[in-house]
Amino acid sequence: MVADNSGVKGTLYLKQNGPGSAVLLTGYIKGLYEGAHGFHVHMNGQLTNDCKDAGGHFNPFMKNHGNPFSLDRHVGDLGNIKTFSRYHPTEVFILDKLITLEPGRENSILGRAIVVHEDVDDLGEGGDNESLRTGNAGSRLACGVISRMIDY
């Protein structure tokens, strides 16, 4: 889903090798401007209203927004993805130990939305309340629902 005709689109793949193991997110996103862009899992798998219906960051443990390398963060805080040129796809390669694809777990991201933001995520270090809530990552450029694919 593209928000507000941003032209941003892509495909992501998520893989978890077993219960309790880290989740690997890989793929490519096209149409982003050069720079860093906030990349988060949001509460709802609702993609309408320019991705705003996805709600806030996925935060089942009621933590402040933070660095993806910390356990003291929203579960959905995956940091930033870096775009080197608007004319080349942005590669996504994230390994995260806090999220899971296991159904029924409190930190499961199945059925939720991945959102790419316009601006850099300050990782909760911006010195204001919005930083501790959203990382000041700006508007939503694109979103998609995380669904389980079965290999045959």
Catalytic residue among 37, 73, 74, 112: 74
CA distance 23 to 14: 7
Task: Work out the average pLDDT over 47-65.
Answer: 97
Model confidence at 1, in pLDDT bands (50, 70, 90)? low
For residue 46, count other CB atoms closer than 10 A to its CB: 17
Quote the percentage of the chain above a pLDDT of 70. 95
Q: For residue 37, indicate whether it is catalytic.
A: no
Q: For residue 74, indicate whether it is catalytic.
A: yes
Q: Is 56 exposed, middle or buried (0-12, 13-18, 19+ CB in 10 A)?
A: middle
CA distance 127 to 135: 10
Domains of the chain, residue spans: 9-145
Task: Work out the average pLDDT over 36-47.
Answer: 97
Quote the percentage of the chain above a pLDDT of 90. 90
Catalytic residue among 37, 40, 73, 112: 40
Sign of CA dihedral 134, 72, 83, 144: negative
Q: For residue 88, indicate whether it is catalytic.
A: no
* Average pLDDT, rounded, for the chain: 94
Task: Work out the average pLDDT over 110-129.
Answer: 97
- The residue that leads in pLDDT, 44 or 150, is 44
Determine the CATH number of domain 9-145. 2.60.40.200
Tell me: the pLDDT tens digits for 74-112?
A: 999 999 999 999 899 999 999 999 999 999 999 999 999
Catalytic residue among 57, 73, 96, 112: 57
pTM above threshold 0.85: yes
Confidence check: pLDDT of 152 > 50: no
Q: For residue 77, indicate whether it is catalytic.
A: yes
Catalytic residue among 37, 50, 65, 121: 65
Q: For residue 73, indicate whether it is catalytic.
A: no
Query: What is the structure's pLDDT at 5?
Result: 77
Catalytic residue among 37, 50, 73, 77: 77
Confidence check: pLDDT of 150 > 60: no
Catalytic residue among 37, 42, 73, 112: 42
Catalytic residue among 37, 73, 112, 117: 117
